[in-house]
Structure formats: C-alpha cells, structure tokens
Structure 1
Amino acid sequence: MSAPTSTAGRRALRARGAELAATEDIEFGRLLLANIPLHAGRDDAELRRWAEVAREFGAELAAAHPEAGAEGWSGEARVVERDGGLDDDRLLLARYRSRPVETVELFTDTLALAEETVELLGWRDWFPPGSARRAALVHEEGHRLLGDRAHRAELRRRLDHTALRVGRFRRLGHVAGADELAAHAFAHTVCGLGRSPLLLTAALTHAVSSRES
C-alpha cells in the first residue's frame, strides 16, 4: 500500500495532516490512554497527567542511556525486516520479541508508507529521511529497557495510580498504555525528532483507514 495517489485523496490527507500538526503532542498521549477500555470514564485531567508523567519518564530514560539508539538498536537482538505491517488494516512499524531468540521485526511496508506520508505532508523538518525506521527500532529498545523491574516500579510510583486502598494502606496500580507513551518519548528524545512519533502514527492511522481500493 502507498499514500493516496488521487488528487482528492492527497488533498484529504493533507487536510487531516494539518489538523493533526496543530494538535499538541501531549494530547496524542491523552487520546491514546482515553482509547484504552480500562480507562473508560476517567477524567481527562488525570489521563493528561499520566501522559505527561510517562513522557517525562521516557525522556529521562533516554538521557540515562546515552548508548541507546547509536545504531538504531544497542541491544543484542537480531533485526529482521519483513512486510505484513499493513495486513488486515493493521499498523505495525516494529515488534520486539524476547523469545525464543531476542528479535526486533521491522515492517518495511509500513515504514515505506511512513516515509511517503511525511513527504506528502511536508514534515521533513520534523522527521528526516530514515527517521521512521530508526525511531521504530529505538521505540522497541525503549520497551526493552522499560521491562526492567526497577524502571517499571519507578514509573508506577510516578504515575501514582491507586489500585487498592484499605484504611491507611494504599497499593499502586499499573496504568495501561503508560509504557507505550514512555517508549514513544524515549524514541522522540533519542532520535532528536521535531515532533513526537505519536503525530506520525496518527497520520498513518488516517492513511490506512482511508486507503484507496
């Protein structure tokens, strides 16, 4: 699949891209959390605070790991390129598997669409050539680092979400989607992008949903 080729399709994508570009990066984070069923009915202010905390944590994690992303992936995982990221209207740029062999899969069809979309929308200042591939790799490395028990515990502490309270006892709970936002912020910081990868993901989602037959 490629970006729209018809005049009407390209015009529609540019119009949607302009709307998305006018949206604050943190709002994309709030929307990601709001679209998770577990957060249905939660106050927007709380979702926004969680999004801000996750973004700050991801940026700090990047600063604490200067070796991350030097070549796109500093771990020992093998990197495999394949297509299929857009099959059945999915939107997969990369996927990390820890078993049976540590592997990062890169989906070349989605990455190609990302480059075409950036070019069409005039977003090269924010997402230079090749940055979609690198950001996808670094994003998955962020998830690997976030899997560390100490990092998970610190993120949970900062999110300060009460899962259970009995008298003076309070147990902190997991916030679904927070690790995803932290990984996006990790990639944003490591790759030095002008805007969050969440913006590009939103544009790609629109491109996929409105693709031409």
Structure 2
Amino acid sequence: MSGDLDVDLAVRLLGGTPTHEGRDPVLLRHWAVAATEFGHRMTPRAATVRVVERDGGLDAGLLARYRSRPPVVEVYTDTVERAERLVVERGWRHWFPEGSVRAAALAHEQAHAWLHHTAVRAEFKRTLGHTALRFGRRRLYAYVAGADEVAAHAYAHAACGLGRSPLLLTEALAAAVSCESEN
C-alpha cells in the first residue's frame, strides 16, 4: 500500500465508488489526475467555521465531517488518535508529522466547504470534463462521484505540506479499523 503512487490511490477510491463500476480505468485515472491537480491548486478563502471535537468516529468510519448548516467541522478525536498511532506503527512519521492528521482533516473539510460554492463547483466540473448533456457548442457538466474526495485530499496534502497524500493514511486506517473490528 505505501508503495502505491498517490494517483493510484485516487483511482482506487474512484473505482470503489458504486456509480463507477465497470468504468474504463483510463477515464478513472483522467478524473483522478484532474481532481488531484484541482485540489493542489485550490485556494479556499479563510472562513470562520466552528470546530467541534467528539468521539465515535471509528464506529462511523469518520475522521472529520463538514456540515454546511450551520457551518461546522466535527473532528473525531478517537479516529485522529488511532490515525496518529497508525502513522507510528507504519513508520510514516516522515510523511505525516506529529499533529498533521488533525491539521489535514481540518484542511480536507475546508476544501469540502469551498467546493460547495457554486462557481468553484462549476469550475471543478469543467476541469473533470464529464459531459452529461451537449447541445451544439453548449455542455452541461456532470458530477463525478468521489472526485470531490480526491480534490479535498489533494488540497490537504498541499496545504499541510505532507510527504504523501492523506489518501494513503485514510486507506490504511480503514483497513486497520476493519481488521481490528473483526478480531
């Protein structure tokens, strides 16, 4: 898993999305690269969003969650702590410095909040290039399920200066928690 390229992790995330079953892997890679590049370029405006810390993230499979009404980011401390331990267990501290899991989770949710803005969402859809409808020269671009997750992870990667995409840690954490719950 740690040997996978970050774009391969993004392709795997998109490929695991139910609406993309049977999609051409070349198309999934195109969307993964486009979403990653978009996320790296994102420059969300600083917004005052209340941050609430709570437990229960491991059971729900959540590290953090953005809610738009009212704007709030919920950070799940049990999941953050488990992710920090996983970083140490895997020897990934050089990629994910102490405290970077929480910082990346907050940046990730900031990216989701930014992607809620109409103009940003429209630009993102154009970047992905998934056409839902074409009428002459006009196009209606469609939503690509999972691409917002790829972009948000890419933004967190760039904003926090991490050595690897948080997708690596997210995938490893999901596998570790799944294995632990089976035992």
What TM-score comes out, normalization by structure 1 length? 0.81
- Name stretches of at least 5 consecutive residues in structure 1 with no aligned partner: 1-19, 69-73
Q: Is 1:79 the counterpart of 2:60 in the alignment?
A: no
| Structure 1 residues 107-186: aligned runs within 5 Å | 107-165=76-134, 170-186=139-155
Please give the per-residue CA displacement for 1:166-209, whole angstroms capped at 9, x wherever unaligned.
56654321111111111111100000000000000011011011
Q: Secondary structure at 1:171's aligned position in 2?
A: strand
Q: Distance in 2 between matches of 1:168 and 1:122?
A: 52
1:76–1:166 Cα change, 3 Å:
closer
Aligned-pair CA distance for 1:43: 0.2
Distance 1:152 1:169 in 2: 18
Unmatched runs of 5 consecutive residues or more in structure 2: none
Q: AA paired with 2:68?
A: S
- SS of the residue 1:145 aligns to: helix
Alpha-carbon offset, residue 115 of structure 1? 0.5
Provide the aligned C-alpha RMSD in A. Answer: 1.5
The equivalent residue for 1:210 is: 179
Q: Deviations over 1:122-174 (max 9, x none)?
A: 00000000100000001000111111111111111111112124566543211
Instruction: Look up the match of 1:9.
Output: none
TM-score, with structure 2 as normaliser: 0.94
Query: Match of 1:192, as an amino acid?
Result: G
| Letter paired with 1:175 | V
| Of 74, 95, 119, the match for 2:65 | 95
Q: Equivalents in 2 of 1:152, 1:140: separation in Å?
A: 15
Identical-pair percentage: 55
Secondary structure of residue in 2 paired with 1:127: coil
Letter in 2 for 1:98: S
Distance between the aligned counterparts of 2:31 and 2:116, measured in 1?
Answer: 18
SS across alignment from 2:177 = helix
- Distance in 2, matches of 1:46 and 1:165, equals 19
Shift in Å, 1:75? 2.1
Q: 1:13-24, aligned counterparts within 5 Å?
A: 20-24=1-5
Change (3 A) 1:149 1:115: same
Structure 1 stretches of 4+ moved >3 Å:
165-170
Q: Give the counterpart of 1:35 among 8, 16, 21.
A: 16
